[in-house]
Amino acid sequence: MSDVPNTDDSATFSEAMLRLQRSTAGIPDSQHWRWIFFDKDLKAGVNFGKGAVGPIVSMGLPWLSADCSLRWLGPRLFFWPQGIPGRRRVSIVTSRLKQRLDEESWWFDLLRTAVLRIDPTHDVLCAVAGTAAHRFVCRAAELFGRPLLEFRMDSSEQTGDDDIAAWLAETANCEEWDSSAAITEADLLAEPPSIESYSPGTQWTVFVSPPLSLLNTSFNTDPPNFSILPVSRQPVADRILFAAGDRLQVLRARSGGAVQALLLQHLQDFERRASLVMLASDTAGQVPAIDADSHGCIIPWLLKSSRGSKPGNIDSHGEGKAELRSDESSAAQGSSAVSTPLSHPDDWLFHWTRSTVGPWPDQDEQEFNDELILGCRSSDRSALATLLRIVIEGRLWASSEAIRGGYRVVSFTEVPLQAFRSHRTYRKHRRRYDFEPWGIAVRRDVLASAGASPVIYGDEETWRMTTDIARPFFQNVGAGNGWTKGEREWRIKGHVQLNELPVASVVVFVDSEDSRSIVQKQTEWAVIVVPS
């Protein structure tokens, strides 16, 4: 091997690379693999070009020098089944997102804009499994027909060099790529295909190995002496994303987070800081402060929201506020002469709802992700949106969440609307309040006749003594989750078809007059406001 990279440990690394090459000689078609040692092509003995046909095994990212690749990633193998795309690589970088993804409308606006602005004939999006944006970048590339280079990490970061050879053999035999395509010697030495030969939306997959230990005594050399730099303390998936990009499109950099730390390392790295960084503004047009001495590689990316008001608010979706008509107002107050949830709370049971995290109960996750990426109004999962969905569907969906035995039930409570504020508790283990001022009230006698029953509060002994028929109604008060008899819970097995109940037996409750005016237009049930 000639002209090895300029690193103090080149002899150690080259010996490791040659040993791994020999250990994989028995893998089918491995004689046609191209081996790249950092930025050198071992087969041709020349500098690596911007692209190459595959399959390819590289130590480090081949467009980086050996020293730079080691600083950012340590000694790792990358297996490129389809070759290496000869395109400008654009990494979409972000700090973590909220649990409520529908509240991240600005972030998805940024993502959509960034992906749509990618040149489909000259650029390729980079995504790394395990990073915050991974699944959304992959899906956006598919939706908008943009090329994608996806890095997939091995699950283990602790392994020896013999295990690396086994990893390479296992990866080469996986079903993620087609090894049947004939690769000739001429292909290995030829220039890569021109960028025009790739169709829009082409996807490349890269498999990333755990780090090589390089401590085997058969090398007859000392271990590598590269130092552990601050960058190595950050998640390796984020480091790959930073090291892979010719351009970094940063959608969010949380103060004190991994992305901000890696941005600082990027600025201080004499090789990497030549790669452009576009740092997105927030909804107010403010760009996070990273470093006053940015060497000109950070460009503020200023965008203006086209939304008229705060994302996630029903009113921003074009729903106008209107005064209630006199007949609506009367119905909304629930002024029945017989019973209302406010005048006779003991006659009613209350199902409290809240904002929803993720897809609706009957919705495919990819459909929900598409709503987010495309900026659809239907992605709203606010408490009001959740309640409107219940009203329009006329159904309360049963759930087995926190129900021992996996029984699917709908829960109600006897706690009256007037006492809502004093019973409301934040549940740390669920990162939300147990009661929100939104929901459905149903007459107790109607639910009881349909099979609803009070919850049985108890401990392990109570559970053992409870019959199978009664177990859907059991709640363990000693599980440390904060549930007590004060919840006064009722349950009913299965979904509750509200639209099959008498109209007068169902009442909707909301948190404000404005919300009531919106909901009342969608239903003939009475709509009332939770007392303050």
- pLDDT at 409 exceeding the cut of 50: yes
pLDDT at 422: 67
Residue range(s) defining the domain that contains residue 152: 10-224+231-301
Reference 85, options 31, 141, 135, 43; nearest CA is 141
More confident residue, 150 or 167: 150
Residue 1 inside a domain? The answer is no
Q: Is residue 306 part of a domain?
A: no
Residue 63 and residue 96 in one domain: yes
Q: What is the mean pLDDT of residues 305-312?
A: 52
Residues 278 and 355 in one domain: no
| C-alpha distances in Å from residue 6, one per residue of 14, 67, 240, 445 | 12, 8, 21, 82
Give the pLDDT band (50/70/90) at residue 519. very high
pLDDT at residue 333, as a whole number: 43
Asked if residue 4 is part of any domain, the answer here is no
Clarify whether residues 407 and 514 are in a common domain: yes
pLDDT over 90 (residue 379): yes
Distance CA 152, CA 85 (A): 16
Q: What is the average pLDDT across 510-514?
A: 93
Reply yes or no on whether the pLDDT at 421 is more than 70.
no
Separation between Cα atoms, residue 500 and residue 166, nearest integer Å? 61
* 94 and 243 housed in the same domain: yes
Chain-centroid distance, C-alpha 14:
38
Domain final residue, candidates 301, 326, 358: 301
368 shares a domain with 248 = no
AA letter at 248 = L
Q: What is the pLDDT of residues 6-54, one digit of tens each?
A: 555 666 677 777 777 777 777 777 777 888 888 777 666 666 666 777 7
pLDDT in tens, 112-156: 999 999 998 889 999 999 999 999 999 999 999 999 999 998 777
| Domain shared by 334 and 260, yes or no | no
Residue-level pLDDT at 227: 46
- The secondary structure of residue 174, as a DSSP letter, is S
Give the residue from 269, 301, 333 where a domain finishes: 301
Is 309 part of a structural domain of the chain?
A: no
> Does one domain contain both 27 and 160?
yes
Q: Are residues 292 and 320 in the same domain?
A: no
Asked if residue 356 and residue 478 are part of one domain, the reply reads yes
In a shared domain, residues 183 and 254: yes
How many structural domains compose the chain?
2
The answer to the question of residue 112 being in a domain is yes
354 and 470 share one domain:
yes
**Tokens, residue 397:** 């969906």
In a domain, 442, yes or no: yes
Q: Reply yes or no on whether the pLDDT at 231 is more than 80.
A: no
| Contact present, 244 and 151 (Cβ < 8 Å) | yes
CB 92 within 8 A of CB 249: yes
pLDDT (tens digit, 9 = 90+) per residue, 451-501? 999 999 988 889 999 999 999 999 888 655 555 667 889 999 999 999 999
Domain boundary among 301, 326, 352: 301
Which value, to the nearest 10 degrees, does the dihedral of the CA atoms of residues 241, 242, 244, 250 take? 80
CA 193 to chain centre: 34
Identify the sign of the CA torsion 343, 349, 354, 360.
negative
Task: Give the integer Cα–Cα distance in Å for 417 and 530.
Answer: 6
Distance, CA of 347 to CA of 52 (rounded, Å): 74
Q: Is residue 351 located within the same domain as residue 291?
A: no
